[in-house]
Structure 1
Amino acid sequence: MTEPSPSKESALKRRREELGLKQRDIAIGVNVSMQTVSNWETGRYKEAKLTLPQVKALCRVLQWSIEELPNELGPVE
């Protein structure tokens, strides 16, 4: 099985793996379901609808500044 090309990989998944986190860690930190995190990573949800506290939590969990937060959480072509 071939690895996805970096340009089509989810920025969220790449960052999560860099930090050694599981989807469950993100889900708990942001207060969403694990399925939601999976859907973000695969691009199933084209837009993440998060409250401001959830955006802050996502940045905190992934150690991203607001400037580093990608415009798309799913795979980018």
Structure 2
Amino acid sequence: MEKTNTFMTVVDVMECLEVSESKAYRIIRLLNKELKEKGYIVIPGRVSRQYFNERFYGITKPDEEVSDNAGL
């Protein structure tokens, strides 16, 4: 069984997005800044895999379905 880490490192972001190391660090800093502004504790140089997937791919948890008819 493959273990999936909760956090992504700069290498993970580089491989996932096929970007340079400096670009990956900029992305991590941006995402961590957003999380910090929302009141979350962040770890420099790492980003939440869940938040990364939400921001880049619009992927949410299975119990958080996105609906076009929200509130209707």
TM class by smaller structure? 0.3 to 0.5
Q: Greater relative contact order: 1 or 2 (C-alpha under 8 angstroms, separation 6 or more)?
A: 1
Q: Give the alignment's TM-score, normalised by structure 1.
A: 0.31
Which has the larger strand fraction? 2
Specify the structure having the higher radius of gyration (Cα).
Answer: 2
